[in-house]
Amino acid sequence: MEEKANHDLKNLAYAPDIPDLTFRGYSGPQEHEWIAAVIQRCLDADGVSEVITADDIARRFAHMQNFDPTQDVLLVEIQGDLIGYARMNWLRESNGDVIFRHHGCVIPEWRRKGIGSTLLHYTEDHLKGLANHTPKDGLRFLEIYLADTESDTQDLVKNAGYQPIRYFFEMVRPLDADIPEIGMPEGLEILPVNPNQYRTVFDAADEAFEDHWGHIPATDAEYQWWVESPDFQPERWKVAWDNGQVAGMVLNYIKAEENERFNRKRCYTEDISVRRPWRRRGLARSLLAQSLQMFKDEGMEEAALGVDTDNLSGALALYEDLGFQTNKLWTAYRKLMA
């Protein structure tokens, strides 16, 4: 790693006494590659089969709500090499609660030495400072999402008083199994989405998820983040229309880098949603089945999606009925902010 100037050094009295250990702020886009490398090391060690790139970091830092990387990122170095990272921001849910969300990691060889505890201590202190500038009504929670294989971080947050509050399944379905042919509800049709309709689809998805747990109202910045993402693949979407109105959708995509890294042919059937006037008519089932067939024809071997296990719409039962099986468990941990 090339030499970096010490930027915004943090003197943390509660940090462990480790030679050449430093904590500092973020100094600019030149660090995105190093941050991505640290996160990838952690994902690989923790059995999370995802790929993170410098471009992903750049998009997140540019568009995430209530987030300033020059203030809301902490980096950890040993002898100038980056070994850990934390970021933090706050969000307001549709129900008025304020969520102080954070994510952090330490590469495996430097775990269980007090560095992760230091990151968490700093993160909570920083978020409590941000709380002075957020809406005062509603409950306030510290929050982190973790996979069931991220045992080190799970131990850390549980010991700090976090409680599991909500569970999510990553589900996978092999595409060599039979895919049912399910027709569209009467009066609805799947049509291609033109660029001047992208925002319409985005807003329709946001509306459809308004009554879901933890919903955060979408922003213009998040729309920009969405259209800049490599997962933005409108040519693969299945969007149902009713006289010019979006009724429901499955926003399909393929992560090519992920498939190459993990030697698989996986596709994603995500943002499965139906707006209220068109619910309970079998639309989601039809759109999902057609998405699976499309990907099978494209040569994919498995489809994946994520679901809230307590989703009130019956989504979990629908996905199981269409052949999806649980592959990984994710948990939202929360702690009431004092």
User: Is the pLDDT score of 157 beyond 80?
Assistant: yes
- Euclidean distance between CA atoms 272 and 245, whole angstroms: 16
What is the reported pTM?
0.95
Nearest Cα residue to 288 out of 180, 209, 206, 205: 180
Q: Please tell me the CATH code under which domain 170-329 is placed.
A: 3.40.630.30
pLDDT of residue 338: 81
Fold match between domain 9-161 and domain 170-329: yes
Cβ pair 278, 188 in contact under 8 A: yes
Rg (CA), the chain: 21
User: Is the pLDDT score of 4 beyond 70?
Assistant: no
pLDDT of residue 322: 99
Per-residue pLDDT reduced to its tens digit, 175-221: 999 999 999 999 999 999 999 999 999 999 999 999 999 999 999 99
- 145's CB contacts (< 8 A; 6+ apart) are 103, 330, 331, 332, 333
Q: Please tell me the CATH code under which domain 9-161 is placed.
A: 3.40.630.30
The ranges assigned to domains in the chain are: 9-161, 170-329
Q: How confident is the model at residue 2 (pLDDT cuts 50, 70, 90)?
A: very low
Provide, rounded to the nearest whole percent, the portion of the chain with pLDDT above 90.
Answer: 96
Q: Mean per-residue pLDDT for 104-120?
A: 98
Q: How confident is the model at residue 3 (pLDDT cuts 50, 70, 90)?
A: very low
- Euclidean distance between CA atoms 306 and 316, whole angstroms: 9
Per-residue pLDDT reduced to its tens digit, 262-316: 999 999 999 999 999 999 999 999 999 999 999 999 999 999 999 999 998 999 9
The pairing of strands 302-308 and 266-274 is parallel
Cβ pair 169, 328 in contact under 8 A: yes
